[in-house]
Amino acid sequence: MTDKEFYSNDEKQLARFAKALSHPVRVYICKLLSSQSCCYSGDLAEEVPIARSTLSQHLKELKASGLIQGEIVPPKIKYCLNKENWALAREMFTNLFNN
């Protein structure tokens, strides 16, 4: 049995959520997005004091985890929280800490 086969799909998903939230900039981005329905990448660049390329990498990590979703609205990208996955993450973290 390999490492990948040993861990459950839930454990792997929880690790993806945790990794996505493991940087303060990504936590801050999530807090910003939670306070509004959606936000454009240009607006985020004005809010977060980091280079656009660095912001793009953080958004990519959050999107890969499924915690946010992006929609191309030329010439910008609109980002929103993925509420279904946030509910799943909340449930998974609650279960982790209540066991």
> Using CA atoms, how far apart are residues 43 and 78, in angstroms rounded to an integer?
10
Residue 99 has pLDDT above 80, yes or no: no
- In CATH, the number for domain 7-98 is 1.10.10.10
Q: For 9-30, how does the pLDDT look when each residue is reduced to its tens digit (9 = 90+)? A: 999 999 999 999 999 999 999 9
- Taken in order 61, 38, 96, 88, the sign of the CA dihedral is negative
What residue ranges do the domains of the chain occupy?
Answer: 7-98
Tell if the pTM clears 0.85, that is, is over it.
yes
- Strand 68-73: give its sheet, edge to edge: 39-40, 76-81, 68-73
